[in-house]
Structure 1
């Protein structure tokens, strides 16, 4: 049974598809091994659901990680939910993207009124009438 040009092209495309599937699988396995080697106590990490925190301890038998998100708040998550290890610059960029900024001395406190021009205050407009 001779193969025509269409069958040869289809077999070549199938072989190429299989090659790329195996290649991507190996890449993902290598990335997973690299991530697991970086996941140690004290590392700053981000979970799959977007929570940033510091690893306190890892239980290899039960695949549990104790993650401190803010001082005093400890979460227990599955080890596979750790998406990546975050470097300090990535952590600061994520805080900026979320709108979390450190308060400076020039920022008003909650409920504090800012001094405005005397011409634009309602009291000065009433006295001009």
Structure 2
């Protein structure tokens, strides 16, 4: 019985030490997260956990609205924001007053609609019967 006492004492000390270090690291992570959430203000540049960069436009209790591009806003949970980014850390910068990329192709599509559609040449047009003949030449794996 006296041989087990030192072993039990070592086990209790070891488990206590593990518990203390685990609680300490969890507390440290909570403090870091709290500091991050306190530094989130409207207008701050942030990086999401997916790697996307954006600007905070609104910050709520549980969610935030991030503008990824001019006019493109998404609502995310605060936990999806991995860090607040300093402008010096960003490799690329974009001006907010640039026109959105989607505006130009829409205008081109409207202008292209005025032109008549080009008819497909007769040699490329196939009838349903011709297509059926080709598919009969190459049966699928299930057909015999």
Question: TM-score, normalized by length of structure 1?
Answer: 0.63
Partner of 1:53, secondary structure, is strand
Per-residue displacement from partner, 1:36-58 (whole Å, max 9, x unpaired)?
11011000111122111000112
Equivalences for residues 64-79 of structure 1 within 5 A: 64-79=63-78
Q: What residue in structure 2 maps to residue 57 of structure 1?
A: 58
Where structure 1 has 5 or more consecutive residues not aligned to the other structure, the ranges are: 96-129
Unaligned 5+ residue runs, structure 2? 93-144
Answer yes or no: is 1:23 the counterpart of 2:24: yes
For 2:137, the equivalent position in structure 1 comes to none
Deviation per CA, 1:13-64: give whole Å up to 9, x if none.
Answer: 101101101111110111111011101100011112211100011233xx22
**Cα separation, 2, equivalents of 1:52 and 1:66:** 12
> Residues 62-86 of structure 1: CA distance to partner in whole angstroms, max 9, x if unpaired?
x221111122221111122111111
Equivalent residue for 1:123? none
For the aligned residue pairs, the C-alpha RMSD in angstroms reads 1.7
Q: How many residues align?
A: 91
Under a length normalisation based on structure 2, what TM-score does the superposition of the two structures give? 0.57
SS in 2 for 1:4: helix
Q: Which residue of 2 aligns with 1:44?
A: 45
